[in-house]
Amino acid sequence: MTRSNSDSTRWFAPLLVIFIGALAYSNSFTGPFIFDDTVSIQRNPQIRSLIPYKLASDGPTAISGRPVVIFSFALNYAISRLHVVPYHVTNLLIHLLAASVLYAIVRRTLLGNDRLARSARAEGKASAALSAMVAAIWIAHPLNTQAVTYLSQRSESLASFFFLATIYCVIRAAQGRSGWWWGAGAILACALGMGTKEIVAVAPILAILYDRTFLAGTFKAALKLRWGIYAGMAATWILILLSLHTGQRETMVGYHLGISTLDYARTELNVVAHYLRLAFWPSDLVLDYYDWPIARRWSDVSWQGWLVLVLAVATLIAIRIKPWLGFLGAWFFLVLAPTSSILPIKQEAAAEQRMYLPLAAIVVFVVVGGWILLSRWKWARLLAAVTGCAVVICLARLTFIRNGQYSTAVDIWRDTVAKRPNNTRAHVNLGESWAQLSIDFPRGSPETIAAATQAAEQFQIALTLEPQVTHSIFALGQSFDQMGDPQAAEELYTRSLPKHPEIAADLYLERGNLRARRGDGNAAQADFEAAIAADPRDPEPHYFLSLLFQQRQDWNHARSELEKTVQLSPQYKDAAQRLARLTNPSR
């Protein structure tokens, strides 16, 4: 093969991979903001400005303590505000870049390791073809859709890109003449990854394991040759500590959540087994696993979960006797470790976006391992190539279909409750999606009533599954109101008062508003006063009580309630403006 042919193959292969990825995600650009996107993007003041720029997001969100992700969303906001298409385009570009770096890593690994290259018969053109097959399967796999199409999960794909870039820079530092420049690139990529998501904490470990396996031959030699790179990468761990300290994630992760270390570890054996099944048979993908059961006993661990434990032990053995297989196993388990080991994560024992980078290790194992087994026979090589192409086409088609399920909030949550009917949070979110549709139509229209009826059904299911999810009470009451049945909403609030004294103030407030609207001022006043007694720090009942007094032209009492409202909440603009008009009518 001539050099020109080799170069053309080297460039054509990644371009083909990018084309496949773009085609698979071509219908993903108009999907709305959903779930965590609301607080992480739509309502997040942190992304509203590039300067001044703070390290941590305000409040616990999916991107709290992840300054690189926050900055990327701030760039999107600066360009297009909340127009959703550019956010999706950015997510897809990150995915395409990550696949390109994965292609480069696999190709250089095959070319740079004589023993592995001979085993795979992957010299020259074959190495490009194998690498392209790995990248194409990975980029088209529907298990990756959650990290790409679900916008706030950009943290997973962007962190994975920096992770892969770190490994690639280490390879170039070892193989190229400009080693220090590439070494600096490895440290920079690692630092950016640390500021993106916690999974990059294992990048220095995986990088030195790669060096030992494919470059230097031993850990001692790797450290001797590239100690500066690894010292610099290890120093970036401080960024993880800063992110955890400033990102307000302590309410979402930790040992204080009522789940023991052992319970969570047992649970994750079942979860990882589920991930592996999805990697090989990606059916029944689910947006939210809120209802994933916690394994409180060893008997709760499935046989597939025990198999995961066997694979983890086999990985430790393979690191010594079959290093390249051991490295792939370590890649899989180490990347999952920050989220799928012993540190409990609130209400999210399982999440498909976590498989974004570990999936690459599985794909490399199947493609390269399978090729090594079959490449000695020409007919088998042809069969493997045809099978690989068919797999890519099928996966791309499944990804296209999955992206279609993200087309509206109602569609994705309806898909979720269909697959996990006991998922309370999914029912609540589906109800809220229907409720949002109901207020988009004119009040009292058939469309409003139909959407509100659907919302009410979902909120009732949520309350049946988890009566303590009190948010559903108010959402159900509002749905009744949208359906044109405020009496049903009032009765719901009345029934809920003795059951949920912890939210009595809000229940009185909602019932008072309903009564005020139908003209029963005395009953409404009693409810607002009861709300004040239940929670004297809440400005809302004072404000609504002032409106009631204004309707009666009782200006003194109205002014008194507005003063209390502003005293409790100085930023309450409408109350402040009404108070100013009552105090100085000429204004």
Q: Tens of pLDDT along 384-403?
A: 889 999 999 999 999 999 99
Reported as a single tens digit per residue, the pLDDT across 261-312 is 888 889 999 999 999 999 999 989 999 999 999 999 999 999 999 999 999 9
Summary mean pLDDT of the chain: 88
Q: Which of 343, 375, 404 is the last residue of a domain?
A: 404
My answer on whether 421 and 386 are in the same domain is no
My answer on whether 41 and 75 are in the same domain is yes
User: If you average pLDDT over residues 538-551, what whole number do you get?
Assistant: 92
Contact 58, 45 (CB under 8 A): yes
My answer on whether 526 and 394 are in the same domain is no
Phi, psi of 200 (to 5 degrees): -75, -5
Kindly report each contact of residues 43-48 with a partner whose C-beta sits within 8 Å and lies 24 or more positions away, as own/partner: 44/70, 44/73, 46/70, 46/74, 47/73, 47/74, 47/76, 47/77, 48/74, 48/77
Indicate the number of domains in the chain: 2
Contact 212, 219 (CB under 8 A): yes
pLDDT above 70 (res 115): no
Reported as a single tens digit per residue, the pLDDT across 178-215 is 778 999 999 999 999 999 998 999 999 999 999 999 99
Question: SS3 sequence, 4-26?
Answer: HHHHHHHHHHHHHHHHHHHHHCC
My answer on whether 21 and 51 are in the same domain is yes
User: If you average pLDDT over residues 157-167, what whole number do you get?
Assistant: 98
Distance CA 424, CA 156 (A): 25
Does residue 247 fall inside a structural domain? yes
Distance CA 204, CA 206 (A): 6
Reported as a single tens digit per residue, the pLDDT across 38-66 is 999 998 888 988 874 554 445 567 787 88
pLDDT at position 580, please? 87
Question: Cα 519 vs. chain centroid, distance in angstroms?
Answer: 46
pLDDT above 90 (res 346): no
Per-residue pLDDT band for 326 (boundaries 50, 70, 90) equals very high
My answer on whether 39 and 65 are in the same domain is yes
pLDDT at position 497, please? 92
CATH code of the domain containing 547: 1.25.40.10
pLDDT above 90 (res 118): no
What is the number of alpha carbons within 13 Å of residue 359 lying toward its C-beta?
Answer: 32
My answer on whether 298 and 433 are in the same domain is no
Distance CA 363, CA 375 (A): 17
pLDDT at position 567, please? 92
Does residue 410 fall inside a structural domain? no
Distances in Å between the alpha carbon of 118 and those of 372, 377, 517? 9, 14, 80
Q: Which of 369, 404, 439 is the last residue of a domain?
A: 404
Least confident of 67-81, 232-246, 279-293, 361-375: 232-246
My answer on whether 313 and 336 are in the same domain is yes
Rounded to two decimals, the pTM is: 0.89
My answer on whether 369 and 497 are in the same domain is no
Per-residue pLDDT band for 329 (boundaries 50, 70, 90) equals very high
Give the percent of the chain with pLDDT over 90: 66
pLDDT at position 155, please? 95
Does residue 411 fall inside a structural domain? no
Does residue 368 fall inside a structural domain? yes
Backbone torsion region of residue 420, taken as left when φ is above 0, otherwise alpha when ψ lies between -120 and 50, otherwise beta: beta
**Among candidate residues 333, 308, 352, the one with its CA nearest the CA of residue 142:** 352
Tokens for 520, please give them.
Answer: 């029963």
Q: Which of 404, 435, 452 is the last residue of a domain?
A: 404
Reported as a single tens digit per residue, the pLDDT across 124-139 is 567 888 999 999 999 9
Does residue 174 fall inside a structural domain? yes
What is the number of alpha carbons within 13 Å of residue 431 lying toward its C-beta?
Answer: 27
**Among candidate residues 571, 570, 521, 577, the one with its CA nearest the CA of residue 544:** 521
Give the percent of the chain with pLDDT over 70: 90
Task: Give the residue, 74 or 379, on which the prediction is more confident.
Answer: 74
pLDDT at position 446, please? 86
Distance CA 357, CA 141 (A): 12
pLDDT at position 538, please? 93
My answer on whether 110 and 233 are in the same domain is yes
My answer on whether 17 and 144 are in the same domain is yes
**Is the bond leading into 52 cis (omega within 30 degrees of zero)?**
yes
pLDDT at position 384, please? 84
My answer on whether 400 and 529 are in the same domain is no
Alpha-carbon Rg for the chain in angstroms: 28
Distance CA 502, CA 483 (A): 27
Whose tokens are 């399982």? That residue is 350
Reported as a single tens digit per residue, the pLDDT across 416-451 is 999 999 999 999 999 999 998 888 777 778 888 899
Cβ–Cβ contacts within 10 Å for residue 383, how many?
A: 12
Reported as a single tens digit per residue, the pLDDT across 481-494 is 888 889 999 999 99
Alpha-helical regions (H) of 405-520 = 409-419, 424-440, 446-465, 471-482, 486-499, 504-517
My answer on whether 441 and 501 are in the same domain is yes
pLDDT above 50 (res 547): yes
Does residue 409 fall inside a structural domain? no
Does residue 119 fall inside a structural domain? yes
Residue 561: domain span: 416-583
pLDDT at position 104, please? 95
Does residue 478 fall inside a structural domain? yes
Please enumerate in sequence order all residues whose Cβ is within 8 A of that of 79, keeping only pairs 6 or more positions apart, or say none: 86
Task: Give the residue, 454 or 125, on which the prediction is more confident.
Answer: 454
